[in-house]
Amino acid sequence: MMRPKSTKLANLALGLASTVAAFSVYAQDQSDPNPQTAMTSSQPSSKPRDEDDENIIRRPKEEDTPAPKEFSLLETQKACAKYKDKLISVYGEIYKLRHCTRHLVQDQEEIFKLTRQGTTVVEVDATDVAAIPVGPTWDTVSVKERPCATFNKKYVTFSYTDIYYVENCVRRLIPDYETLLVHRQERGQKNGEVLALTSKEFWSIRHGRDIASIIDKDFAKLLEGSAGVDIIPVDEACKGVEGKLVTFYSRMYKIEKCRKREIDAESFTMNRKLGDTKLIELKPEQWISMPDGKPYSFK
């Protein structure tokens, strides 16, 4: 028996509606298994937005960096003329001007040398010297190194404390001022100039043995008995120095029972009990006339 077409259409519509309903339920289950959560999430949130929250530290807006100021040639020349022949101190960094360019001086010894030569240090703000361009560091553009032959048979220095004599491209330390005077006199250079070297020049010259001290030479003559000093009675030699601390050349002694007991200079310096103890300088005839005793200890 044939069903009417209307019945078929009704069944088809009913089946389609069931399929759509089932698909909706499946989609809801996949998106959020908790229906209550889904309902809650659909409600508008009462939490304030970030820009309205006072507890949030917001990142400041970055401003555009202004382009560096361009200086005219005339402005640069004026700035260079103002600080010519000076050392410029900019926020603790020292610059030297050369050919209207400032060069950072990194070597403290070089700064010390320049100031000893009369170069003044001027402390300025960066804006005051902004017109002067910055070049390579000073050690790369400073005076070209002079060959060691330039200093042959001359007195040189680097730190302004030690003086060396250069011979055959070897520098030899002059240990004391008395030796320097005699050394100059022997070579006819009583007023010889002491040349200041750069760090590169100084270290490029080989370091030889120190020149023998004239003081040590005189002491050696005294030991050999060739100094022409007369020996006097022991009692006379220790008169006025018994129990005292004395010196003779670079040596130090404690006189006990008319014997000279040598003292280690470092131990003497470290001994606080001595304070400002006055030292007596022995005469050559006293020193040679008193016999040696055992080395003295402050322990």
Domain boundaries of the chain, sorted by first residue: 73-141, 148-212, 227-289
pLDDT band at residue 147 under the 50/70/90 scheme: confident
CA torsion through residues 17, 20, 24, 26, sign: positive
The CA distances from residue 180 to 17, 147, 186, 221, 249, in Å, are 118, 24, 10, 19, 17
CB 56 within 8 A of CB 50: yes
Higher model confidence: residue 35 or residue 116? 116
- Tokens representing 135 are 């070049």
Report the distance separating Cα 207 and Cα 226, nearest Å: 33
Q: Tell me phi and psi for residue 60, to 5 degrees.
A: -65, 150
Question: Does 148-212 match 73-141 at the fold level?
Answer: yes
How many other C-beta atoms can be found within 10 angstroms of the C-beta atom of residue 151?
21
Q: Strand, helix or coil at 281?
A: strand
Report the distance separating Cα 275 and Cα 62, nearest Å: 65
CB 274 within 8 A of CB 254: no
CA torsion through residues 42, 43, 48, 49, sign: positive
Amino acid identity at 272? R
pLDDT band at residue 74 under the 50/70/90 scheme: confident
Cβ neighbours of residue 249 closer than 8 Å, sequence gap 6 or more:
215, 216, 218, 219
pLDDT one-digit tens code per residue, 246-299: 888 667 888 998 988 988 766 666 565 555 567 788 888 888 788 888 888 776
Is the pLDDT assigned to residue 64 strictly greater than 70?
A: no
Which pLDDT score is estimated for 166? Answer: 94
The CA distances from residue 61 to 58, 165, 282, in Å, are 9, 65, 81
pLDDT one-digit tens code per residue, 13-48: 555 555 555 555 554 555 555 545 444 444 555 555
Mean pLDDT of the chain: 75
pLDDT band at residue 126 under the 50/70/90 scheme: confident
CATH class label, 73-141: alpha beta
Report the distance separating Cα 71 and Cα 68, nearest Å: 9
Closest CA to 20 of 10, 12, 31: 12
pLDDT band at residue 1 under the 50/70/90 scheme: very low
Which CATH code is given to the segment(s) 148-212?
3.30.2390
Higher model confidence: residue 216 or residue 98? 98
CA torsion through residues 86, 88, 89, 93, sign: negative
Report the distance separating Cα 11 and Cα 296, nearest Å: 128
